[in-house]
Amino acid sequence: MPVISSNKPYRIGRSKTGLGLFATQPIKKGTKIIRYFGPMLDCRKKKDDAIENKYLFAINGRWTIDGSVRKNIARYINHSCRPNAESDVNTRKRTVFIRAIKNIAPGDEINYDYGTDYFKEYLKPIGCKCDSCEKKRAKLRVEARAVKAKDKKKAAKTKSAKPATKGKPAKAKTAGKAATKTSETKTSKKSSKTKSAKASKTASAAKSARTSSRRTADYARAASSGARLGPNLGPRAAGAARATPAASKSGGGFGA
C-alpha cells in the first residue's frame, strides 16, 4: 500500500468493496482533492489500444490515462451513484483531478461517478455496492417482505374463511334432506290412507256380494220347496201360510 503524507486530507482504508479513500480532514466543496495520473496511452497505436484494465481513464477519443500504477492513489476512490466528488478533466493539458462537490467530513469515504460505460461493463453485472444502491436494495427488500407478509396474511384469511363457506351448503343439504324426508312421510301417510280406503271399499263390496248371493240362494230354495217369501224376504212353509185363514175362520165361528 502506498505511503501517504500526513499533511494530505485523505487516507487509504477498508470499505465495503475492498479498499477506498477516506477523508482525514474536513474538505470543502470545490476543493481539488487528488490528481488521477499514470502513463498516457495513445489509442491510435495498436500497442496502447490493446491494454485493458479497470483503471483506464479516457480523456478524449485519442488519449487515455492508465491509472493502474501503485503511485496513483486516486485509483482507490470507489464509484458511487450519489457521489460527494467528481472528475475534473482538462483535455488540453490531459490532466484529471478529483474535486469535491459537497462538504466532506473526516471519516467519510470519497467517491465519484465512474460514468455510464464503466458502470455497464464492470459494475452492472455484479451489482453496484455503493451506499445509495445498498439503501435502495434494502428498501426494496423491506417492501418485498411487506408484500409477502400481506399475501401470506390474505391467504391465511382466505383459508380460514373456506370451512365456513363449506358449512353453509351442508346445512342447506341437511335442510333439503329433512324436507325430502317430511315429503316422503306425507306421501307414505297419504298412500296408507288411500290403501285403507281401497281396502274398506273392497271389504264393503265383498260383503254386499255375499248378501246378494245369500238372497239368491234363499230364492232358489223357496222356489224348489214351494214356499213363498215373507216381508223380510225369508221363506215360509206352505202349511204355515194355510194355517192363518183357518185360524181366522175358527175365531170368527167362535165369536158367532
> Is the same domain home to 67 and 103?
yes
Residue 50 pLDDT: 94
Report if residue 223 sits inside a domain.
no
**Could you give the 3-state DSSP secondary structure of residue 100?**
strand
Please report, for the domain that includes residue 32, its CATH number.
2.170.270.10
**27 grid coordinates:** 474538505
> Is the same domain home to 98 and 134?
no
User: Residue 233: left (phi > 0), alpha (psi -120 to 50), or beta?
Assistant: left
Report if residue 121 sits inside a domain.
yes
Q: Which amino acid is at 122?
A: Y
Residue 205 pLDDT: 67
Place of cell 470499505: 15
Residue 65 CA to residue 56 CA, distance in Å, equals 6
- Spatial CA neighbour of 32 closest among 106, 100, 105, 108: 100
Interior/surface letters 171-186, b for 16+ CB within 10 angstroms, e for the rest: eeeeeeeeeeeeeeee
Residue 66 CA to residue 39 CA, distance in Å, equals 5
What are the pLDDT digits (tens) for 188-246? Answer: 666 666 666 666 666 666 666 666 666 666 656 655 655 555 554 444 444 444 444 44
Residue 36 pLDDT: 97
Residue 205 CA to residue 217 CA, distance in Å, equals 18
Report if residue 24 sits inside a domain.
yes
Report if residue 153 sits inside a domain.
yes
Residue 97 pLDDT: 97
Domain carrying residue 63: 10-127
Average pLDDT over residues 164-190: 59
What are the pLDDT digits (tens) for 66-77? Answer: 999 999 999 999
Report if residue 22 sits inside a domain.
yes
What are the pLDDT digits (tens) for 92-148? Answer: 999 999 999 999 999 999 999 998 888 888 888 888 888 888 888 888 899 999 999
Q: Facing residues of 236 across strands?
A: 228
pLDDT band at 174 (very low <50, low <70, confident <90, very high): low
Report if residue 256 sits inside a domain.
no
Q: Name the domain count of the chain.
A: 2
> Is the same domain home to 91 and 144?
no
> Is the same domain home to 62 and 49?
yes
Q: Quick check: 248 pLDDT over 50?
A: no
> Is the same domain home to 20 and 71?
yes
Instruction: Note whether 83 and 101 are within 8 A (CB).
Output: yes
Average pLDDT over residues 59-85: 94
Residue 95 pLDDT: 96
Instruction: Note whether 227 and 219 are within 8 A (CB).
Output: no
Q: What does pTM read for this prediction? A: 0.56
Instruction: Note whether 117 and 102 are within 8 A (CB).
Output: no
> Is the same domain home to 150 and 110?
no
